[in-house]
Structure 1
Amino acid sequence: EAVFQNVKGVSKVVSGYAGGKVKNPSYREICTGTTGHAEVAQITFYSSKVSFEELLEVFWNTHDPTTLNRQGADEGTQYRSVIFYHTDEQRKAAENYKSQLEASKVFKNPIVTEISPLPDYYPAENYHQNYFDLNPNQSYCQYVVRPKVEKFKKQFHSKLK
């Protein structure tokens, strides 16, 4: 969420849950790892200002797509690396980008990021929205989120709002 809020052309980023079996799950339910949902960010953007491919570039370069079911110290399928697409064009773009990364051997380990059609999406509770901005001193933000935001700002200066 925090990284994409800084991208030129992104108008809205909403933290939420997708890819599971439970209707309208709560964070507490998600944390059990039994609902099948992943924690996700729904990104609304102006395609005239930033392309889906540019968003993919930011995604692939600001997290480790080779780590299975993990985000920082948090483990479980709810923390998996996943791209949920809306259109066949987005699916093809995501698969092509992933294939190019695999062919280039940028990562030592295999890429485990899933690419799947967007099933039902549920916005997370209000206290999860803008989490980094509202909780910058929280340890998760300092050790997991801040390094990603700093990496984005350094690597993608031209895409910065």
Structure 2
Amino acid sequence: MKSTTRGTLAAVVTCVAAAVATPAVAADGIPVAVPLDGVENSLNMEMPRIGGTLPLPTPGNPDGPRYVEGRLLPDRAVPQLPVTSDLPSLDLRTPVPRVLGDTFDHVAASTPTSDLRALTPGASLDAPLTAPQADKLGLPAPKLPEAGLLAPVLQAAPGANLGLAPGL
């Protein structure tokens, strides 16, 4: 095979791999299924069905430092970073034997995805000097240093569903 043919083939394979990988990166979550088919076939009995989704957190744009008149250092020297995501979802269906028959019923539990918003902790600092003052020939005056922590924020509304029904 010529080197130009190999180069063209490598470029095509690279483009196909990038096209296949792009939708996985753009997804909101990664679906996860627990494969229990082999256990079900080997033991010859119904096994639970377990699946869910793992979310991918998305960082936002931080609120930058804010310059305040009369301070040497900006307010919010370490800004808070917003992060948005979904809570992980879970779907579980497990068979339970009926008390008055040979068929199976099932119990189902699920936690649907719900929005999650968070802010990372931040810090606000100030130097132990004031801004230059005109009445003191442009020299700063000493003062007590200031330090403050901005608390993290977490907002979510999780939910769950539980049900009992015939069949799996």
Q: Which has the higher strand share?
A: 2
Q: Which has the higher helix share?
A: 1
Q: TM-score, normalised by structure 2?
A: 0.19
Q: TM-score, normalised by structure 1?
A: 0.19
Greater relative contact order (CA < 8 Å, ≥ 6 in sequence) = 1
- Greater Rg by CA: 2
